[in-house]
Chain A
Amino acid sequence: MNNLFVYLELQEDSRVAEVSLELLTKGRSLATQLGCRLEAVAAGCNLEGIAAQVMPYGVDVLHLFDAEGLYPYTSLPHTSVLVNLFKEEQPQIALMGATVIGRDLGPRVSSALHSGLTADCTALEIGEHDDKKAGKHYEGLLYQIRPAFGGNIVATIVNPENRPQMATVREGVMKKELFDANHQGEIVRHDVAKYVPDTDYVVKVIERHVERAKHNLKGAPIVVAGGYGVGSRENFQLLFDLAKELHGEVGASRAAVDAGFADHDRQIGQTGVTVRPKLYIACGISGQIQHIAGMQESSMIISINSDPNAPINTIADYVITGRVEDVVPKMIKYYKKNSK
């Protein structure tokens, strides 16, 4: 009882999503700190391969809900699985990915259990809390830390009274690490019909197109990112040319995406992808906090900006004051000349 639960998001062929493995890693360390067990829940179809994928991350108990109709995901059956399981198990913490599925499922579960949920956390910690008005002291609470207000502030949220304390986290924010390749936990196979009424299967998925990502921005060792200062979709092509030469990927700030210069799936920042490349080349990016939150852990940062006082320059290793359309072609030219 009162353990830490992670909802496992499943992709095609019952592959566990990266974000779920990242959350198991975080969950493992939080559970150890709290002295509780790490439990994982998978709901889908043909789940025999799940245990081998997740046990090395230190799962103590794996709950399997294996039935036709649980894949592909629809809202009501998965909500019933978690709500009814949580009523029995009384978890203290429940974590899920801030994905389309997690953001569809988490709020419903939190509403049904009247437990608080914090979306898109960038850090999770354990700490204490004093409610001075009520004169109450709490220990071992989950600090749910997230940027708020368009990324201009960071808020620490706690749920003192209600359980489970729920949080969602975006892919790439936590780091995935194996706990023990030989770790073996307990597996519990549940009777789905006891948890999910037939009336839950009301939404039908008629058609589905899932494409493997066109690029690997998150894992790219070199990222060439553009902001509003790039000026146009045509100028963004220069960034693609440089990225191609360097074997990197192209990213964009929210302002550039909103302006239509780059596609949404290339957005870096609090509401986009978090990247940790060895080299980040920021082109015409002013450096709003919500963007910096998604790239500040880059090993080396080069900022190209016509404004020598662009905020991003304060965290850059190299600041080139100049126009993107002048500097980027020179970088391509001299890379070609010097890399052979």
Chain B
Amino acid sequence: MNLRIIVLAKQVPDTRNVGKDAMNADGTINRAALPAIFNPEDLNALEQALRLKEQYPGTTVKVLTMGPPRAAEIVREGMFRGTDGGYLLTDRAFAGADTLATSYALSTAIRKMGEYDIIIGGRQAIDGDTAQVGPQVAEKLGLTQITYAEEILKVEDGRITVKRHIDGGVETVEGPLPIVITVNGSAAPCRPRNAKLLMTHKNAVITEWSVADIDGDVAQCGLSGSPTKVKAIQNIVFKAKESKAMGDTDAEIENLIVELVENHTIS
């Protein structure tokens, strides 16, 4: 069985390790201070795709990403782990896209890429945490979806069986191909780069597509294609309290405990 798999992946600023210099004095984000990384859950998705490629020889795995020119690294990172290349959507007209404009661009590019069986990506990106792009791409392509996937169990007779996370538990569901799947961070971690593949592909030239290359409608891309507008951005300021500073001696801890017991905060 030759599956045709497209992995949706994003290059993101590493918001998990935000230092003090991450914010400019005017409250905007200092992107230069944040390293650009492969979105973590997209790596979980890539691993599921590569496992299918091993399981079903003849399968092709291509990465599709959107971003500035340096995001071509994402496609190369995929190749270092065993994919068959991919595409970078890059054009000033894509900039400022909300999730709907992003899913318009991705779904238009996917149509351009040709036939496919499985479109798979991380559940969400760490710079937005919205989890919206996967389902919106599915809707735009007229496909069903399985979100919050933990593991692809099998592909058989044009149907795929997936174990997925639900609130308070897990379920196993089965759906028809072609399909969109989004993968949870709790799924199997991605394999490391392969040294041989790294040497082979480190200078790989990645195909870049503009809005025109995918026959896209500029009005539906980027800021102009985004129904949501950012009205205001604020730094978060928490109300500081007057705090009582203490050391860790037995006497101080006992005094605090006695105080909390007496005023019924505890007990």
Contacts and interface: CB of A to CB of B under 8 A. Distances in A.
Contacts of A334: 250, 253-254, 257-258
B131 A212 contact: no
A338 B254 contact: yes
A313 B227 contact: no
Nearest to B235: A153
Nearest to A103: B131
A204 interface: yes
A300 B126 contact: no
Contact of B241 (A76, A246, A288, A316): A316
B261 A156 contact: no
Contacts of B35: none
Interface string B230-247: 111111101111011111
Interface string B164-191: 0111111111111000000000100000
A121 B84 CA distance: 39
A112 interface: yes
B173 A204 contact: yes
B227 A161 contact: yes
A119 B132 contact: yes
A296 to B, nearest CB: 6
Nearest to A287: B238
A45 interface: no
B229 A160 contact: yes
Interface string B150-172: 00000000000100011111111
Nearest to B148: A100
A149 B99 contact: no
B15 A152 contact: yes
Tier of interface size on chain A: 35 or more
B129 A158 contact: no
B238 A315 contact: yes
A226 interface: no
Contacts of B147: 75, 100, 103-104
A334 B170 CA distance: 42
Given A153-B233, A202-B175, A322 B248 contact: yes
B9 to A, nearest CB: 18
A292 B169 CA distance: 27
Contacts of A160: 229
Nearest to A293: B236
A338 B227 contact: no
A321 B253 CA distance: 11
A318 B140 contact: no
Interface stretch (A30-38, A172-180, A189-197, A323-331): A323-331
A204 B173 CA distance: 6
Interface in A142-177: 143-144, 147-162
B73 interface: no
Interface string B105-145: 00000000000000000000011111111111011100011
B226 interface: yes
Contacts of B173: 74, 203-206
A107 B244 CA distance: 46
Contact of B136 (A110, A330, A335): A110
B231 A116 contact: no
B146 A327 contact: no
B233 A155 contact: yes
A67 interface: no
Q: Which of A115, A149, A208 has the most CB of B within 10 A?
A: A149
B196 interface: no
B1 interface: no
A107 B139 contact: yes
Contacts of A292: 236, 238
A111 B232 CA distance: 24
Contacts of A79: 139
A50 B229 CA distance: 36
18 contacts: A75-B144, A106-B132, A107-B136, A111-B100, A118-B228, A119-B131, A120-B130, A148-B233, A154-B236, A156-B231, A159-B228, A207-B171, A292-B236, A318-B244, A319-B244, A320-B248, A330-B253, A334-B250
Interface of A: 72, 74-76, 79, 99-101, 103-108, 110-112, 114-120, 129, 131, 143-144, 147-162, 202-213, 222, 246, 254-255, 258, 264, 270-271, 278-279, 288-289, 292-293, 296, 300-303, 308, 313-323, 326-327, 330-331, 334-335, 337-339
Top 4 A-B pairs ranked by shortest CB distance? A322-B248, A150-B15, A116-B227, A116-B228
Given A100-B167, A119-B130, A302-B256, 4 more contacts: A209-B169, A320-B252, A330-B250, A334-B257
Interface of B: 13, 15-16, 18, 22-23, 27, 29, 98-100, 103, 126-136, 138-140, 144-148, 161, 165-176, 186, 226-236, 238-241, 243-248, 250, 252-254, 256-258, 260-261, 265-267
